Amino acid sequence: MKILPYFLSLAALGLFSPVLSLAAPLEVGADAPTVKTVDQKGNSVDLGKELSEGISLVYFYPKADTPGCTKQACNLRDAFEDVKKAGIKVFGVSADTPEAQLAFAEKFELPFTLLADKAGEVIAAFGVPASDRGFASRQSFLIKDGKVIWRDLKANPTTQAQDAIAAAKAE
């Protein structure tokens, strides 16, 4: 079959990839993106404004209500009092619809905001790699007063809250 070598050639040249987002993830010290999206209830969220003051965790996950993503969200939920005591606002981001995010939040009683990034604009603004189906890589960014102060490009779903708290305390 001649199609496979063609795609392999394109991939080798960097012209074809199963990953849509080709920008590098934001570096520590970078400005937080000024992008807008909607939350799980369909409300508009100006992420640039939300991230301009205080400390915020913006964490990316592939798909709502899947095993790893549920572990990550429930780790944050279970440690949420400690997260709040550390002064951290939490925003979970995936390319799911607001309806899927709301169902996920309600099913697991998540006390923080989930952002529905169906168009992938937030994912792209942070430079988070995403598959050709829009599934974001599991990455996390801690933002303080509009600047990235920490990032975890291989976020651990079972220690997400503890890792973010430790990073905030180290700042």
Tokens for 101?
């995010």
Is residue 102, in this structure, part of any structural domain at all? Answer: yes
Q: Are 124 and 113 in contact (CB under 8 A)?
A: no
Is residue 10, in this structure, part of any structural domain at all? Answer: no
Tokens for 103?
């169902």
Is residue 11, in this structure, part of any structural domain at all? Answer: no
136 to 76, 86, 96, 154: CA distances (angstroms): 18, 26, 10, 12
Look up the domain containing 91 and give its range: 26-170
3-state secondary structure (DSSP) of residue 57: strand
Is residue 14, in this structure, part of any structural domain at all? Answer: no
Side-chain half-sphere exposure of 125, counting CA atoms within 13 A: 19
Is residue 15, in this structure, part of any structural domain at all? Answer: no
Is residue 87, in this structure, part of any structural domain at all? Answer: yes
Is residue 13, in this structure, part of any structural domain at all? Answer: no
Q: What is the pLDDT of residue 99?
A: 98
Q: Is 74 a catalytic residue?
A: no
Q: Give the gyration radius of the chain's Cα atoms.
A: 16
Sheet holding 36-39, edge to edge: 44-46, 36-39, 113-116, 88-94, 55-60, 139-144, 147-152
Q: Are 36 and 45 in contact (CB under 8 A)?
A: yes
Q: What is the pLDDT of residue 171?
A: 80
Q: What is the pLDDT of residue 16?
A: 38
Q: What is the pLDDT of residue 85?
A: 97
Separation between Cα atoms, residue 134 and residue 128, nearest integer Å: 11
* Selection from 116, 124, 76, 123 nearest residue 100 by Cα: 116
CATH number, domain of 88, equals 3.40.30.10
* Selection from 14, 54, 10 nearest residue 32 by Cα: 54
Block residue for tokens 């007063």:
145
Mean pLDDT by 10 residues, the chain (171 residues): 40 39 82 96 96 98 96 98 98 97 98 96 96 92 98 96 97 80
Pick the catalytic residue from 26, 35, 51, 69.
69
Is residue 20, in this structure, part of any structural domain at all? Answer: no
- Domain total of the chain: 1
Structure pTM?
Answer: 0.86
